[in-house]
Amino acid sequence: MARDEIRSGLKTWFSPYLRRRCGIVALVVGSVLNLINQGDILIKLGSPNWFKLVLTYLVPYFVCAFGAISAARKVGR
């Protein structure tokens, strides 16, 4: 991977548009997945597994960001 590609990827990664868009995707998808996986605990106001809860929001964020960076690289070629 060339330095220009790395710079371009980092520029895309830290852009406000990407953070906002991936944040919205993570909020929606993460909430649905948390309700599916830990809904009974959350509805009963029990103590959820906090590691899984946070990870369930981070994974969609990173998948969205990776997809956006991959698409930007493909368009740039």
Q: Write the pLDDT tens digit of every residue in 18-60.
A: 999 999 999 999 999 999 988 888 888 888 889 999 999 999 9
- Taking CA atoms, 60 is separated from 30, 47, 64, in Å, by 7, 23, 6
Residue 1 belongs to some domain of the structure? no
User: Is 3 a member of any domain?
Assistant: no
Total number of domains in the chain: 1
Is 9 inside any structural domain? Answer: no
User: What predicted TM-score, i.e. pTM, was given to this entire model?
Assistant: 0.79
Q: Is 31 among the domain residues? A: yes
Instruction: Show the domain range for 68.
Output: 20-76
44 vs 48: CA distance, rounded Å? 10
Question: Got the DSSP string for 45-66?
Answer: T----HHHHHHHHHHHHHHHHH
In a domain, 48, yes or no: yes
